[in-house]
Structure 1
Amino acid sequence: MVHSIKDLIVALICVAMLNVAAANAQTATAQDLPVTGGKLTSTQTSFQQPGSTSLSVEQSPLKLGSTSTEADQVPAHIQEMPEFKTTVVYLGTLPLLSVSGGESAPLERASIISSKVNQLQWDHTPGSDIRVRFDGKHYAIVAGKDQELLTIDQGVRISTSQALSEKATALQIANRLRRHFGNAPELGDSDQPSSSLAAQPAANFLDALGGTVVHAFQGLASWYGNTFLNRRTSSGAVLRQDSLLAAHRALPFGTLIRVTNLSNGKQVTVKVLDRGPFVSGRVLDLSPRAAQVLGMISAGVARVKVEVLR
């Protein structure tokens, strides 16, 4: 009996030692798995569900071959304006030019111009390399070694009216580009750096020099929710309870517009001081006070006539 108990204890001790040896062997196998360029130094040994291995935005690597540079921040972009039957090319937050024409040509042409302008930044082209060229028939804007950005014709304007000549239009656009890319001196009539031509810095593409444009269009208008009160608009103006202001996608800040609610005939004159609306099918966002005057608070949206007054 004594021998049997001793034999049992010895057997249990042997089994325990064998289990420890097996566990050590398994750990060594897991830790010494061969991998390309060396050995795997650690593995997940817990039987619990492993935590997420996804990286945060800051930790995640860039795509192969990509780098995060200033070139990722493109200066030019486009905005379709169906109410004007045109497409506007923006340089930063300001309009650079507008393109009009047939059904699809304005959008395609504006996209090409925008991509060429962005290429200037990627190539680190200085503003002083941007100039106007005349081939005896048309004016064109070129950069660097005669890289043509666009040719000026009846489809390219800095305003919805065509009061400017092609030469004046070319100089205006070139000088806006020169200011943006390094604040280079402005070009004058002789196509040499000069301060004689005072191009409009705010780029009012609706108005020609020395002229007044009255333009009208229709569409759906909405209004700001009260949650936006006491916040700054894109122009820097604060939206107050009694503010008579509006948001439009492209009209220059400070533009006066008269808005008529077509369902009841009520009118209000407001100033464009914000950007928007960014909902498809809407042409204007109005402050709460302006919406109240127009009688559209309860409806939320209204079909309106917009008259540009300059």
Structure 2
Amino acid sequence: MNNKFLTGLATALMTTVGTTTLIGVSLQSSQASNTIDQVDQIGVGTLVGQEISDFQRPNVVSFGPIQPDSTSETASKQIATLYVHPWQSQLAVTLRIRQIPVLTFLGSKAELAALREQGNDIDPTKIESKAIDRAKAFAKRLNELDNDNTFKAENLSVTLNPDKTHSIKLNSEELIKLDKGVILSDTTRNKAIDALQATNRLRRLMGNAPPLTAVVNPNQPRNNESGLASVRPVTSRRKGMASWYGPGFHGRLTANGERYNQNGLTAAHKTLPFGTQVRVTNLRNGRSVIVRINDRGPFVGGRVIDLSKGAASVIGLVSSGVAPVQLEILGR
């Protein structure tokens, strides 16, 4: 993607769109080695004109309630942010909560092409994009809930629908339907696992609620009448010390040939097959996250798993560096 297009997109997104109170853009450079640290320090509303790829520092869009005296400081306090970026030659919008990727809304190749064709006068409001509209509405609702004193993250759940899609709900309210246009940002390509993991991230990041272990399936017969259907069985458990790795490896090839994304939910393990799903629980605080094995390590004695920075953030491991964990190997 050329810098001319990105600069135009940045300029367009700096204007108010719909119910948005502040829109800013932040793009990753493939040339400067210290870009990640620079972007973290620059924050919302500053353009760093450069090329991006997939989920690495996409365009930033912050949403918040409309206020007559809305300022950058006010908008920056909103927990839900949107990142507009190309993904596999199509338009995509990734929603993050407190900088942790949760869901990605997929647009079309035509929508991305339509933006590019606008040259330097890029205006996303001039194209019809269901992905942008759905992402904005969901982000706005999450920010509203964050400011609602009656909201409880424990009331978030995930349900299997008759059409085999999943819905994240707050009590009986459907917040978002995970259809073909909405995927987990670090998708495992297993719809049930993705839906459960997205819900657990919301529960954790919006209120420190304990993770769910199952998806509600109202049509499945159950002996315990709990209304829960297990996603994947636990095949084995083990305990040990976990660590994490991040910026120094960001963008490098992992052992299975992928590009390492420090913000994804992946991990390195010495022997588990690539693609294995592992539930990692921090025994110091009880927080859990499901990661996918895509790398080898750790190569420091006494450690059983090396988490990505994104996964470490979810379970509160970043500041301590290491912590005792329980690993639950999930079957296929």
TM-score (norm 1): 0.39
Bigger Cα Rg: 1
